[in-house]
Structure 1
Amino acid sequence: MAVTDEAIEKIKEMIVSGALRPGQRLPKEADLATDLGLSRNSLREAVKALSLMNILDVRQGDGTYVTSLESPLLLEALNFIVDFHRDDQVLEFLAVRRILEPAATALAAHRIGAEEVAALRELLGSAGPAEGIDKLIAADLEFHRRIAATTGNQVLCSLLETLSTPTMRARIWRGLTEPSAMERTLAEHAAILDALEAGDAEAARSWSTVHIANVERWLASVL
């Protein structure tokens, strides 16, 4: 194991074991290096790597702290990786989204309230075909984001948010080139929302699957 990797593992063990807790300041560099049996250079490299992963927060003039370790923060590193995806990988992102999002929508059917349903209806009503593709896509993203939020699962929300980014261009492309794509999208949204309002988890799951599969089918046909 490389020296830096060993240093990373030792700091990780301290966090996992509870010796270092979220928000806690790390001991002084010299003391921590001695305690862990590391050189100060390898410790610095480990701290640098862990700060890039949002596990540690280096504050100039103040010290180094363990971050909150909350899921949205830790998954920001995944957003960075996703930015480097190739266009031919978009179908793979859609395939993963087709697994996760219907499950989230089914879970939301058990938890969504009347006020949230009303707000979603208002959102859908504000983005018809006459409003243009940009507004429809923005409403589409917000629609799915709000549904995921009702699950109360931050990890699931963050993963779905990350998966939406690489598929956005494909959704815009579809809206501009496929006849009736905008109308079909709105109809699918309405069906998902009706199922959520009825508390019908399986119908919500099914319509969500159809909704994503239609984008996937279209993209596969044009690539």
Structure 2
Amino acid sequence: MKIMWDKGHGGNDPGAVANGLQEKQLTHKIVEYAMAYLEANYTGFEQRVTRTGDQTLTLSQRTDMANAWGADVFISTHVNAGKGTGFESYIYNGGVSSQTVALQNVLHNEILTAMRQFGNITDRGKKRANYAVLRETKMPAVLTENLFIDSNDAKYLKNEAFLKAVGEAHARGIVKFLGLPRKEKTQPQPKPQQKVSDGKLYRVQVGAFADRKNAEQIAEELKKKGYPVYIAE
């Protein structure tokens, strides 16, 4: 399965800016947390990202990457602006497949549930819009708007634990949609316990013989194997 992540904005386009935050930096963190979570816990997939760092990309470049690669899902992360509050998600407002609707449903619920571990986050709903990254992609595609940068929501966006939880929730939504198998974790082998000496010495007797020659013969064989040997009457 091929997963294409899209970090909204980037480069000379910072996206929304307020409260000492930039949208392009927040979307970068959310996607990085999502990708790391998948890599650590699941298998059976490949994942790519439209921008690895702070590059400037057009909308067409983003969708062309996903289409040329043949991605199975496309997730574009954003942060809202306009003095509102809450979380919302989008799919294309034209003809979309039932798979696209299913992807939006599972992502929306997973992300909102994670956000509400931090506070009473408003559900702004599952919406549709004529966004280029949704319209031009050939696979199920969802765009998420993760709170508002210019309202009281900023207190959450400044919380690294919140961003990590949101990123991992994006990943879990993908896992549920694609049915990705969890990695088998190898159990660490227990280390052998070291015995503490009690100060005593223990001897091992190899044999007892009536004929000394027999004893000497066995002793010689043991010496050849490196064992210290002595014969006692």
User: Which category of TM-score, normalised to the shorter sequence, fits these structures?
Assistant: under 0.3
Task: Provide TM-score, normalisation by structure 1.
Answer: 0.27
Higher strand share: 2
Task: Provide TM-score, normalisation by structure 2.
Answer: 0.26
Larger radius of gyration: 2
- Higher relative contact order (CA closer than 8 Å, sequence separation 6+): 2
